Structure 1
Amino acid sequence: MKRLVIGAALGVAILSGVIVAPPALASPAHSATPQAAWCGWTPANNSNVPGTFSNAGVNIRNGQYTNCTVLGAGYNGHDLTFRCFADGTSVGGNGVWIYLTDRTTGVTGWASAAYIWGYGENPIVHC
Structure 2
Amino acid sequence: MRSRILSAAAALVLAVTGLVALTATPAQAGCSHAHPFLDGTGGYVSATDAAVRSGPHHLGSGACTVVGRAYNGYAAQYYCYTSGDTYNGWSTWTWVYVPAINRSGWVNDALLYGNGSNYPC
> Structure 1-normalised TM-score?
0.61
**RMSD between aligned alpha carbons?**
2.1
Matches within 5 A, 1:25-104: 34-35=26-27, 37-66=29-58, 67-87=63-83, 91=84, 94=86, 95-104=91-100
Query: May I ask how many residue pairs the two structures share in their alignment?
Result: 89
4+ residue runs over 6 A deviation? none
> 1:64, 1:97 within 8 Å by CA — same for their partners in 2?
yes
State the AA in 2 paired with 1:78.
Answer: Y
Structure number with larger C-alpha Rg: 1
Q: Quick one: distance in 2 between partners of 1:105 and 1:40? A: 21
Q: Quick one: distance in 2 between partners of 1:113 and 1:39? A: 17
Q: Quick one: distance in 2 between partners of 1:124 and 1:103? A: 20
Percent of pairs with identical residues: 26
Give the unaligned 5+ runs of structure 1.
1-32
> 1:45, 1:125 within 8 Å by CA — same for their partners in 2?
no
CA shift digits 1:33-89 (9 cap, x unpaired): 9516321334223311111111122100000100000000010111111100113xx
Is 1:108 matched with 2:99?
no
Give the unaligned 5+ runs of structure 2.
1-24
> Structure 2-normalised TM-score?
0.64
Question: Pick from 117, 121, 125: which aligns with 2:119?
Answer: 125
Distance 1:86-1:69 versus aligned 2 partners, 3 A rule: same
State the AA in 1 paired with 2:71.
Answer: Y
Task: Tell me the secondary structure at the aligned position of residue 110 of structure 2.
Answer: helix
> 1:57, 1:74 within 8 Å by CA — same for their partners in 2?
yes
